[in-house]
């Protein structure tokens, strides 16, 4: 059940206004943009229905596969998207502006996303007349790069990088549906490795893309359970598991998350982030290495010699240098010495477990090795090793204020956690009769090309 605590003053959120009225364009359906596009003018979307099978709804969107690079500029513009009328036909994913890039080919160069929003207002409204149950994703501006999953021991594909620059703009989300999302949401996720085959390990995961962000004099405002202000996720792909009951089909390695940073600066009014709803953080930056795949279990039955499968190693969260020269897995900085700092940064959250700032770097866990059973000598597989992380860094100057009022809502939560190693599946020695042992030795000799003689009675 949603729980909102107290209203926020929306009148204070007005930021940029055009000097002269903009020509308004009305839309009743999502508008697809080319890979390189510019949004300008005043745009209003009132969408009441979608074609059958559509899984997302948006105002403007870029949705491309094959590693196509996406470049979007929103300048001196207004974008208002109302999806409330979709009601019972509401899809699970809803955005004001949506960018999606999928790299489907392991080993190929993934496409990147570049987004620049300046002097603009963007608003998304999802307030259906009837209360809807379910888990919805609701985001004002959403950017995602994704690596495709591998198959049959092939690796997952890498995700592309994401760079965004927001200045002198306001982005709002008003939602009465429960779920997750943000005023601004970012995700770079590598693909999972494919399942292993006989005597072949699972594919390794695809790496996540680097994420960098710069914000100056912006307002981010959201209402809704799970709908944060700025939410950034970076996830390395998981290693593929070994194929069930196949010898030496080990788990693939989890992929790395390469690190991220976000910088706030100000040359005017400063930046404000306000959320109203449970589990709705002001800023969340979360990076995770991929988990290692699990080695297959194998029953060698009456075999004399068997070797167990290995678990894949967990992926790490690497460090990246930000423009200040500091290298960390996650960096969030406001008004550092080499950045302009005229205005303040203010963060306010109202709701249970709605952190002001949450920074978490979590390495992937190692995969378990498979259990092996046989009649003779046994060599158990080795479980995977957990990954590592670099530092998590937060630098806020004195003109920053953070206020949280909900239960369990820390103003600042920072975490850097290494991955846990996998566990050994162990070995089980099969008990056999003398006749079964003789048969097993004969089969082993035949497979190795040796000969045996028998003495007549």
Range of the domain at 431: 26-448
- Using a 10 angstrom Cβ sphere, with 0-12 exposed, 13-18 middle and 19 or more buried, the burial of residue 284 is buried
Report the distance separating Cα 409 and Cα 414, nearest Å: 13
If you ran DSSP here, which 8-state letter would residue 268 be given?
Answer: S
Nearest to 430 by CA among 309, 249, 306: 306
Residue 456 lies in a domain: no
Report the distance separating Cα 399 and Cα 410, nearest Å: 19
How many Å separate Cα 455 from the centre of its chain?
Answer: 69
Report the distance separating Cα 176 and Cα 47, nearest Å: 17
Cα–Cα separations (whole angstroms), residue 133 to 138, 178, 361: 14, 7, 32
Residue 8 lies in a domain: no
Which token pair is 267? Answer: 């040359």
Structurally, the chain folds into a number of domains equal to 1
Residue 68 lies in a domain: yes
Residue 17 lies in a domain: no
Which token pair is 69? Answer: 């690079």
What pLDDT, on the 0 to 100 scale, is given for residue 15? 40
Which token pair is 211? Answer: 């994420």
Which token pair is 454? Answer: 């028998």
If you ran DSSP here, which 8-state letter would residue 234 be given?
Answer: E
Q: What are phi and psi of 68, to 5 degrees?
A: -70, 130
Are the beta carbons of 253 and 222 closer than 8 angstroms? no
**Which parts of 176-226 are beta strand (E)?**
179-189, 211-216, 219-223
Residue 12 lies in a domain: no
Mean pLDDT per 10-residue interval, the chain, length 457 residues: 30 41 79 96 92 86 90 96 84 93 83 96 90 83 94 92 97 90 96 90 94 96 95 97 83 96 90 95 97 82 63 96 90 78 90 96 93 65 92 89 94 95 69 51 52 33
Report the distance separating Cα 69 and Cα 110, nearest Å: 8
Report the distance separating Cα 296 and Cα 117, nearest Å: 49
Residue 5 lies in a domain: no
Residue 74 lies in a domain: yes
What pLDDT, on the 0 to 100 scale, is given for residue 369? 85
Residue 439 lies in a domain: yes
Nearest to 348 by CA among 266, 229, 261, 264: 229
């Amino acid at each position: 059940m949603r729980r909102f605590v107290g209203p926020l003053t929306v009148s204070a959120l007005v930021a940029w206004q055009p000097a002269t009225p903009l020509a308004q364009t009305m839309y009743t359906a999502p508008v697809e943009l080319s890979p390189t596009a510019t949004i300008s003018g005043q745009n209003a979307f009132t969408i009441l229905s979608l074609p059958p099978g559509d899984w997302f709804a948006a105002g403007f969107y870029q949705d491309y596969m094959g590693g196509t690079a996406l470049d979007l500029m929103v300048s001196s513009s207004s974008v208002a998207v109302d999806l409330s009328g979709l009601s019972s036909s509401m899809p699970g994913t809803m955005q004001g502006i949506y960018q999606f890039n999928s790299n489907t080919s392991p080993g190929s160069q993934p496409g990147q996303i570049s987004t620049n929003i300046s002097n603009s207002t963007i608003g998304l409204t999802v307030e259906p007349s009837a209360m809807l149950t379910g888990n919805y994703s609701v985001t004002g501006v959403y950017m995602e790069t994704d690596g495709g999953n591998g198959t049959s021991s092939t690796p997952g594909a890498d995700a592309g990088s994401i760079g965004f620059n927001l200045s002198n703009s306001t982005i709002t989300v008003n939602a009465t549906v429960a779920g997750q999302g943000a005023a601004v949401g970012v995700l770079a996720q590598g693909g999972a490795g494919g399942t292993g085959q006989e005597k072949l390990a699972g594919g390794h995961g695809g790496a996540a893309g680097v994420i960098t962000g710069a914000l100056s004099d912006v307002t981010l405002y959201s209402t809704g359970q799970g709908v944060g202000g700025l939410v950034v996720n970076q996830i390395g792909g998981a290693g593929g598991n070994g194929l069930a009951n196949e010898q030496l089909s080990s788990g693939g390695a989890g992929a790395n998350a390469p690190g991220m940073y976000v910088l706030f600066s100000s040359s005017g009014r400063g930046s404000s982030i306000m959320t109203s709803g449970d589990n709705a953080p002001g800023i969340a930056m979360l990076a995770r290495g991929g988990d290692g795949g699990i080695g297959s279990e194998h029953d060698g039955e009456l075999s004399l010699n068997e070797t167990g499968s290995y678990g894949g190693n967990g992926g790490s969260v690497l460090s990246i240098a930000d423009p200040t020269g500091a290298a960390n897995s996650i960096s969030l900085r406001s008004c550092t010495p080499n950045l302009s700092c005229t205005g303040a940064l203010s963060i306010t959250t109202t709701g249970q477990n709605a952190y002001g700032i949450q920074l978490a770097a979590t390495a992937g866990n190692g995969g378990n090795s498979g259990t092996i059973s046989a009649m003779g000598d046994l060599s158990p597989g080795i479980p995977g090793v957990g990954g590592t992380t670099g530092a998590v860094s937060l630098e806020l100057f004195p003109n920053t204020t953070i206020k949280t009022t909900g239960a369990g809502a820390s103003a600042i939560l920072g975490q850097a956690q290494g991955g846990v190693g996998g566990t050994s599946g162990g070995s089980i020695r099969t008990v056999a009769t003398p006749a079964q042992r003789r048969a097993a030795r004969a089969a082993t000799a035949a497979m190795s090309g040796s000969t045996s003689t028998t003495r007549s009675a």
